Amino acid sequence: MTRSVIVVGGGVIGGMAAYHLARTGWRVTILDRGPFGAGCSHGNCGYVCPSHALPLAVPGAVADSLKTFLHANSPLKLRPGAVLSRLGWFLNFARKCNRTAMMHAAAGISSLLNSSRSLFDEFLSTEQIACDWETRGLLFVFRTKAAFDHYAATGDLLRDEFQLPATRYDAKEIQTLEPALVPGAAAGGYLYASDGHLRSDLFMAELKRVLLAKGVEVVENCEVTGLRLEAGKAAAVTTVTGDRPAEAVVFATGAWTPKLNAVLGCKVPIVPGKGYSITTTRPKVCPTYPLIFEEHRVAVTPFASGYRIGSTMEFAGYDARMNRNRLQLLRDGAAAYLREPAGDTVLEEWWGWRPMVYDGNPIIDFVPAAPNAMIAAGHGMLGLSQATGTGKLVAELLNGEKPHIDPNAYSLKRFG
């Protein structure tokens, strides 16, 4: 008999969970409070990046942040009210900024990234996904020699501990490798050949196509308000349009997950971290590689069908306003490095809330409220990169199968 599952959330995590559940015989319904794929999955830079194995909470992160966040052009912006209302989260982040905690977190992050990188190849090939997928790698670019030299220790750590080697390029070599850079703008860089990239809005459209073809029901503009329990188990989700029965529930609700704390029966340590992007036509002198400008915390991605500048981090709570100063910060950051920082025509200006957990690992676990309900949320800036592995892990846990990666790093129990 076919079992039914409701996936709450139509982002990339919910979509990939639905895909793997449908493949293993579940009858799947996705419910989203807005259109499918319109949240944080829509306008990100599209990186599938094993190179991002380290969490944001690293030794020195707090001191580095305090030096910059008061500056108007800082890539990190902290609104005091948002910090005070979530002070426990920020204090826990500070406590994690040591080598022991960093390495512990990185083991879980890396495991999920590596799983997902492999599964992306399989998924894109099997389902014939058209999303501007390329595997050129990801080029980390440094403006100053001091920052370039300082990164060498991180590069060594990623190579030695996580089997993530990078090719090092000095100032002359990186200019030859990437002629779109302004001559003299870069002191050097590191190319991670492990990484790939895609255009996330195209990917989400293709994912929806695949899900519908597999019989998944996608219900948009349907807000979930609660969970109805019977005999200690989830029997239905309650929505603004009525109850929807299910034999299992997956909450892939991203930055909105804390709004459901009462429903889930636990306090989820997720805060929204707003990121921005600008999508344009391709510049005439377009980068060959996706680039991260480390000192400016700005990323650019060339697609076959366009071009995107993105990143920055704004902790402003659930403020839904577009901060145009943050968009200008992206433009200015790209202009410091690139001969043509953007294309002539702006196709979209966008922001989205990243679901940030202070230790850098997502939550993929059953909830206290019901043994047949799960959370799959809190992937921070790595939602796309970790989506395929997360989807497979969710299906394995609900099916009672042996997980393909150790799920303990993503357990709710780690928060005490």
Per-residue pLDDT of 199-219, as tens digits, reads 999 999 999 999 999 999 999
CA distance 300 to 290: 6
Q: How confident is the model at residue 99 (pLDDT cuts 50, 70, 90)?
A: very high
Q: What pLDDT is attached to residue 77?
A: 80
Indicate whether 312 pLDDT > 90.
no
C-alpha 299/C-alpha 311 separation (Å) is 6
Asked whether residue 408 carries a pLDDT value surpassing 90, the answer given is yes
Statement: residue 310 has pLDDT above 90:
yes
Determine the pLDDT at residue 367: 96
Q: Which segments of 320-416 does DSSP mark as H helices, in order?
A: 324-335, 387-399
pLDDT beyond 70 at 71: no
Q: What is the mean pLDDT of residues 372-380?
A: 98
pLDDT of residue 78: 79
Q: Which two tokens stand for residue 312?
A: 């920055």
| Closest alpha carbon to 102 in 148, 64, 55, 134 | 55
Q: How confident is the model over 256-277, as a mean pLDDT?
A: 95
Average pLDDT of the chain?
95
Q: What is the pLDDT of residue 66?
A: 67
| Distance of alpha carbon 294 from alpha carbon 180, whole angstroms | 17
pLDDT of 103 over the 70 cut: yes
The residues with which 349 forms a beta bridge, in sequence order, are 278
Q: Phi/psi at 139 (nearest 5 deg)?
A: -105, 115
For residue 65, name the pLDDT band (cuts at 50, 70, 90).
Answer: confident
Statement: residue 370 has pLDDT above 80: yes
Q: Do the bridges between strand 306-315 and strand 298-303 make them parallel or antiparallel, or are there none, so unpaired?
A: antiparallel
pTM: 0.96
Query: Among residues of the chain, what percentage have pLDDT more than 90?
Result: 92
pLDDT at 181: 98
Q: Quick one: pLDDT band at residue 72, thresholds 50, 70, 90?
A: low
Task: Evaluate whether 357 touches 363 at the Cβ level (below 8 Å).
Answer: yes
Predicted local confidence at residue 67, as pLDDT: 66
The answer, yes or no, to whether residue 70 has pLDDT greater than 90, is: no
Average pLDDT rounded to a whole number, residues 155-171: 98
Q: Which amino acid is at 80?
A: P
Enumerate the β-bridge partners of residue 301: 308
Across 256-280, average pLDDT: 95
* Neighbouring residues of 190: CB distance < 8 A, sequence distance ≥ 6: 139, 140, 151, 155, 166, 167, 168, 169
Q: What is the pLDDT confidence band of residue 170, given thresholds at 50, 70 and 90?
A: very high
For residue 43, CA distances in Å to 264, 309, 310, 321, 350 come to 28, 10, 8, 16, 6
Q: What is the pLDDT of residues 118-128, one digit of tens each?
A: 999 999 999 99
> Is the pLDDT assigned to residue 83 strictly greater than 90?
no
How far is residue 410's CA from residue 364's CA, in Å, rounded to a whole number? Answer: 5
Question: Which pLDDT belongs to residue 69?
Answer: 59
Q: What is the DSSP string of 229-277?
A: EETTEEEEEEETTEEEE-SEEEE--GGGGGGGHHHHTS---EEEEEEEE
- What integer is the mean pLDDT of 22-37? 97
